[in-house]
């Protein structure tokens, strides 16, 4: 991993080859990873891409995603009342779903449009923001996510001509959310959107363990991303801490993900525990395609880089697949 970020390229792929691996000091102009030419007869079918966002507010949390895994398109939105635990959840999944993933974050659109659920993201970094609309029965959101934090932008090697791109960042949010008839105005001083924007040519067998959260420690706004995955070289990773929007790297975690709480992520400079309040899960096995995952939402506590946290809202996921 480059300790000093490289200048972001105008295009991620030129002539079928990645222009550079490592960490970049800003958003990439054209994330044209679909033009990569990985080796292997089925490799072009293993291109996966998504935009996943978690909104963290003292009273409510909202997660939504737009996903294209090639043979299947899917997405979801869920809103959680943090006090009562009530959850409104919508999910759509079909090879024919109306889904688009933006190739650039500069004035391009990502969407999922279906009966009963609509997710729209205007990735608008040229205007310093992302604009979001989510509409489903019992949940509505109109959000502006302000690009006021340093993003973690990486391109990591996956072997055999494959690569993974990721853009992760916690951003302050203004706007409003309506959940089950209750309207909540979002103050950007206490509301964070955690963006996970991702494209990859994965190998057939893929796995990751992932955790993320946003919260406060004293007078500081804290956000964390922790990942262990199929990237073969441990020097390339996407483990990061944000303090008041400033990015620094973290050591890779050792995970404890068991049937009972708490789950743990432990590394040099941090020890964190996760307690779940709810989850999405899948256990799919249809021949060559298999997917088993748990994505849980709940509370993170512990210490990271000297900052003590208690009940920071976030996600934890354990995923294994054959795509």
**pLDDT at residue 113 in the model:** 98
Cα(297)–Cα(317) distance, integer angstroms: 9
Q: What is the pTM of this model?
A: 0.96
**pLDDT at residue 198 in the model:** 98
**pLDDT at residue 287 in the model:** 59
Block means of pLDDT (10 residues each) for the chain, length 323 residues? 81 94 96 88 79 98 96 94 94 96 98 98 98 97 98 94 96 95 95 98 92 97 97 93 98 95 98 96 65 91 98 96 78
Q: Give yes or no for a contact between 87 and 80, defined as CB atoms under 8 angstroms apart.
A: yes
φ, ψ for residue 44, nearest 5 deg: -60, -25
- List Cα–Cα distances, 309 to 152, 257, 272, in angstroms: 22, 20, 9
Q: Give yes or no for a contact between 24 and 155, defined as CB atoms under 8 angstroms apart.
A: yes
| Beta partners for residue 272, in sequence order | 265, 302
> How many CB atoms neighbour CB 269 within 10 A?
12
Contacts of 85 (CB under 8 A, 6+ apart): 277, 278
**pLDDT at residue 39 in the model:** 73
Cα(142)–Cα(183) distance, integer angstroms: 11
**pLDDT at residue 241 in the model:** 98
**pLDDT at residue 226 in the model:** 98
**pLDDT at residue 292 in the model:** 81
């Amino acid at each position: 991993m480059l300790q000093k970020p490289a200048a972001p390229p105008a295009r991620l792929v030129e002539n079928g080859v990645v222009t550079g691996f490592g960490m970049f000091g800003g958003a990439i102009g054209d994330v044209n990873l679909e033009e990569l030419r990985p080796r292997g007869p089925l490799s072009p079918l293993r291109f996966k891409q998504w935009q996943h966002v978690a909104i963290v507010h003292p009273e409510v949390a909202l997660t939504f995603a737009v996903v294209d895994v090639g043979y299947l398109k899917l997405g979801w939105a869920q809103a959680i009342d943090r006090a009562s635990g009530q959850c409104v959840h919508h999910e759509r999944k079909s090879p024919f779903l109306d889904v688009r993933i933006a190739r650039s974050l500069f004035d391009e659109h990502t969407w999922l449009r279906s009966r009963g659920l609509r997710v729209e993201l205007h990735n608008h970094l040229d205007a310093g923001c992302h604009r979001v609309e989510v509409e489903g029965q019992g949940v509505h959101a109109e959000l502006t996510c302000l690009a006021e934090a340093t993003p973690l932008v990486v391109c990591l090697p996956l072997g055999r001509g494959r690569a993974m791109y990721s853009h992760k960042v916690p951003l302050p949010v203004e706007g409003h959310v309506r959940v089950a008839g209750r309207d909540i105005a979002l103050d950007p001083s206490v509301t964070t959107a955690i963006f996970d924007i991702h494209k990859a040519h994965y190998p057939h067998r893929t796995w990751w363990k992932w955790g993320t959260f946003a919260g406060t420690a004293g007078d500081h706004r804290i956000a964390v991303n922790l990942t262990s995955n199929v990237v073969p070289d441990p020097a390339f990773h996407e483990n990061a801490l944000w303090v008041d929007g400033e990015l620094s790297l973290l050591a890779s975690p050792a995970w404890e993900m068991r049937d009972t709480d708490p789950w743990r992520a432990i590394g040099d400079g941090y020890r964190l525990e996760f307690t779940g309040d709810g989850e999405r899960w899948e256990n799919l096995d249809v021949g060559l395609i298999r997917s088993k995952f748990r994505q849980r939402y709940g509370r993170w506590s512990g210490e990271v880089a000297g900052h003590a946290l208690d009940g920071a809202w976030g996600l934890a996921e354990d995923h294994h697949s054959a795509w």
